[in-house]
Amino acid sequence: MLPVQSFLNFIAQNQLFTQNDRLLVAVSGGRDSVVLAHLLKQAGFNFGIAHCNFQLRIDEAQAEQAFTSQLADALTVPFHTISFDTQTYARQNGISTQMAARDLRYTWFEQIRNEHGYSYIAVAHHQNDSVETILLNLTRGTGIAGMHGILPQNGYLVRPLLFLNRDEIDTIVDQNGLHFMEDSSNASSKYARNKIRHQVIPPLKELNPKLEETFDRNMERFRELELLLNHQLEQLKQQMMVQVGDEIHLHISAVKSLYPQRLLLYGLLHPYGFSEPVIEDVMASLDKHAGRVFESQGFVLLLDRDKLILSKRRERPGPVLIHQNDHEVYYSQFKITLLHDDSPLIIRDNPMALSANADKLIFPLTIRSWQEGDYFCPMGMKGKKKLSDFFVNEKIPLHQKDQIPILINGNGEVIWIAGHRPDERYKVSEHTEKVIIFELYKLNL
Binding-site residues from annotation for ATP: 28-33
- For residue 421, CA distances in Å to 316, 345, 417, 429, 439 come to 21, 17, 5, 17, 13
* 3-state SS assignment for residue 369: coil
Please tell me the distance from the alpha carbon of residue 301 to that of residue 72, in angstroms, as a whole number: 53
Residue type, 106: Y
Annotated binding residues, as ranges?
Answer: 28-33
Strands, E assignment, 33-168: 46-53, 79-83, 120-122, 153-154, 157-158
Alpha helices in 94-210 (DSSP H): 97-116, 127-140, 166-176, 192-195, 201-207
Report d(CA 295, CA 285) in Å as an integer: 14
Determine the Cα–Cα distance for residues 237 and 230; give it in Å rounded to an integer. 10
Q: Which of 289, 313, 138, 260 is nearest to 279 (CA)?
A: 260
The pairs formed by 151-158 with CB atoms below 8 angstroms and a separation of 24 or more are 151/223, 152/10, 152/14, 152/16, 153/14, 153/15, 153/16, 156/110, 156/113, 156/119, 156/120, 156/121, 157/106, 157/120, 157/121, 157/123, 158/16, 158/17, 158/23, 158/120, 158/121, 158/122, 158/123
Strand-by-strand arrangement of the 320-322 sheet: 320-322, 365-368, 406-408, 414-417, 421-422
Q: Contact at 8 Å (CB) between 35 and 161?
A: yes
